[in-house]
Amino acid sequence: MAARRIPSLLSRSLSAPSTSTPHFLSPRKNPGRGRGVYRFSTAAALEETITPSVQISYTQHLINGQFVDAASGKTFPAYDPRTGEVIARVAEGDAEDVNRAVAAARKAFDEGPWPKMSAYERSLIMLRFADLVDKHRGELAALESWNSGKPYEQSAKSELPSFARLFRYYAGWADKIHGLTVPADGKHHVQTLHEPIGVAGQIIPWNFPLIMFAWKVGPALACGNTIVLKSAEQTPLTALYAAKLFQEAGLPPGVLNVVSGDGPSAGAALASHMDVDKIAFTGSTETGKIILELAAKSNLKQVTLELGGKSPFIVCEDAEVDKAVDLAHFALFFNQGQCCCAGSRTYVHERVYDEFVEKAKARALTRVVGDPFRKGVEQGPQISSEQFEKVLRYIKSGVESSATLECGGQRFGSRGYFIQPTVFSNVQDDMLIAQDEIFGPVQSILKFKNIDEVIRRANTSRYGLAAGIFTKNIDTANTLSRALRVGTVWINCFDVFDAAIPFGGYKMSGMGREKGIYSLSNYLQVKAVVTPLKNPAWL
């Protein structure tokens, strides 16, 4: 893979794992609370769970610049997926909390200083925020991993640098958003204005809480909007911490409001609110349909959706099998398989299929599973008991459908939500494991004979988010990349997410694009202004 200019969020890394403990973690340990580092292929002794030294300081809603309790006074638990234990109780938002947050955002947009600031002044606040993120990277990374179960090294070394980079990228756009002068046939001066859309509602998922925060908050602020953001109920902690840093950076009250709560109450209230001008959602396709319906039935607010996927990863007959196995493994197992664009349909040419399967199995058997706060761990727990059980049901379905279970398929350990890295071969297109978004560490390997066949089969999916192609042949790469009906195609790489690269899907994988210049249009209105010209010197 080509070297990256900036720290990549998720691009493939070939660095060797270390065995030491991250410097930001406390030496304090809790006996009996989980496990340490394991290789799936060996029986390792149990080790004590590492306790992060970060303090959970922000558990209330942030509304109009103040941290406040839920209107109802209710709270809900935030869990450590390593153990299933409660690590905090967080304000539980409902319609009344959303109403308060929307009122604050509306007042900040209509009467506050934010949209009336120069774009340059707005960019400076965003840049100060990015500097604060760098300063507090350890705390944010620890909270992200503690609440979500992803490896600390992933959070600290990949996601937090990308998080800050995204805000610097959008800070750079703030003073470069402008309209056009348009020639007209008659004696008129015509110009277009690109205006902020108003109050933006944003609903982010649990698999990449901070990164999704940046994908949505960054362009909305650059365009001059105000925001009500609902975090995922599974992972509410880092959005609140980041919002506090925005306050320190000088963001005016009411510009960014954060409400914690579940989808059916807080999320539905935000999507259907009559004073919200735009809604952006990342999550499942099923929930995306509900968001779209609520938006249409309320005030027909604009909608951006980034939804599910079942991405094909195509290994062609000329592939170097060892490299293809390594990249396909990363494409599927990264982030515990909890990635919307995961390469979850691994299509392998029949000429190299048997060799690929054996080596994919061997790679899965050496995958390091354990406490995400210990260096060298590649795979932590799934996010929740619900997701854990869902993945195991899909594994059972694969076995019952007569796919060959090459390895894995069981719970890992006896506590928390860990699942063995699982590989299926002889998978057929009509099996559920080849059709549904599993969102877990389950690799399904399918066989194909020729390019025309794999194009047809890869496109026979209700999803169209992304695809991977592994080949040495530029003609094959060009043919596949143009034929696949997906929003992103990675050729001989996977999960390369630069701030400037747009991301979004075809078909039931969503509508609109996030990141890059394309995301700005999600948060802008275009106004045409026409003025008559009297005795113009030229037209």
Q: Verify that 126 and 221 share a domain, yes or no.
A: yes
Q: Verify that 249 and 324 share a domain, yes or no.
A: no
> Does residue 33 lie in a domain region?
no
> Does residue 6 lie in a domain region?
no
Residues annotated as catalytic (active site), given as ranges: 306
pLDDT tens digits, one per residue of 116-167: 899 999 999 999 999 999 999 999 999 999 999 999 999 999 999 999 999 9
CA distances 357 to 9, 41, 363, 515, Å, are 28, 17, 10, 35
Identify the pLDDT of residue 386.
97
3-state secondary structure of 50: strand
Tokens of 367: 């995958």
Identify the pLDDT of residue 334.
98
Q: Taken in order 55, 57, 61, 63, is the CA torsion positive or negative?
A: negative
Identify the pLDDT of residue 539.
87
Q: Verify that 284 and 369 share a domain, yes or no.
A: no
Q: Verify that 276 and 404 share a domain, yes or no.
A: no
Q: Verify that 205 and 241 share a domain, yes or no.
A: yes
CA distances 183 to 189, 536, 538, Å, are 7, 13, 11
CATH number assigned to the domain comprising residue 145? 3.40.605.10
Which residues of the chain are under the pLDDT cut of 50? 1-38, 41-46
pLDDT tens digits, one per residue of 213-237: 999 999 999 999 999 999 999 999 9
Distance from C-alpha of 277 to C-alpha of 480, rounded to nearest angstrom: 39
Q: Verify that 209 and 320 share a domain, yes or no.
A: no
DSSP state letters, 406-443: EE--SB-SSSSS-B--EEEES--TTSHHHHS---SSEE
Identify the pLDDT of residue 8.
36
**Total tally of structural domains belonging to the chain:** 2
Identify the pLDDT of residue 41.
41
Q: Verify that 94 and 200 share a domain, yes or no.
A: yes
Q: Verify that 349 and 393 share a domain, yes or no.
A: yes
Identify the pLDDT of residue 346.
98
> Does residue 339 lie in a domain region?
yes
Residue whose tokens read 């293809």? 324
The residue segments making up the domain with residue 440 are 312-504
Of 56, 62, 61, 54, the C-alpha closest to 22 is: 54
Identify the pLDDT of residue 276.
98
